[in-house]
Amino acid sequence: MNSVVLLSHLIKLQFMKGLIIFKGKYGATRQYAEWLATELALPAFHPDNFRKEKISNCDFVVIGSSVYIGKLQIKNWINQHLPDLSSKKIFLFIVCGTPPDEKEKLESYLQGSVPPEIRKQCQVYFLPGKMVYQHLSWSDKFMLRMGAMLTKEKETKKKMLTDYNSVKKENLDALVNDIKKYAGSVAKSVLQPSIR
């Protein structure tokens, strides 16, 4: 990387005022949030460790959530902070086991958990998660087994009960690139008056 590109990248990051809020159940969402925090030099918070004043100083907010029983884990936090989020650019990453070709189901997660008044300002990214059966709570194992029993297709039933881990850093590439582009446009608008 030449010095001009490096300097440009550093200037963009300096003006990038954002933060990451995440909530998950079994670790995939936390892993993605930690990778993002490192890559973008942004602070990451679990909703339990977050003070709402932090949002007012941001140009954008990255929100990450896993899906649990068809709803985003972070749904309540979003609703509680709706007035603070209404003027912010939002990058929302949703972590789930739903295959990417099941667009209608993926869209239902968004529709059921994100209020319509902020959906327009959200850029949404669906990221693959993981499932390690032995790490599930007793109640989650029970629900998963019940769901598998009600499924007619043998292949689908088998998949439901099979461990998988699709959490990879490269799954974040589009999200990271879009945040950097956005930060670049914020930096450009801040730098533009001083160049004239």
DSSP per-residue codes, 114-132: S-HHHHTTEEEEEEE-EE-
Q: How many CB atoms lie within 10 A of CB 126?
A: 21
Quick one: DSSP state of residue 2?
Answer: -
For the stretch 24-52, pLDDT in tens is 999 999 999 999 999 999 999 999 888 77
Q: Report which of residues 132 and 21 the model is more confident about.
A: 21
pLDDT at 1 over 60: no
pLDDT, mean over the chain: 86
Residue extents of the structural domains in the chain: 3-129+166-195, 132-165
pLDDT in the model for residue 16: 62
pLDDT in the model for residue 36: 96
pTM of the model: 0.84
Cα–Cα distance, 40 to 56 (Å, whole number): 19
Question: In the CATH scheme, what is the code of domain 3-129+166-195?
Answer: 3.40.50.360
pLDDT at 66 over 50: yes
Structure tokens at 1: 């990387």
pLDDT at 13 over 70: no
Q: What are the E-state strand segments in 35-193?
A: 44-45, 60-68, 71-72, 89-96, 122-128, 130-131, 164-165
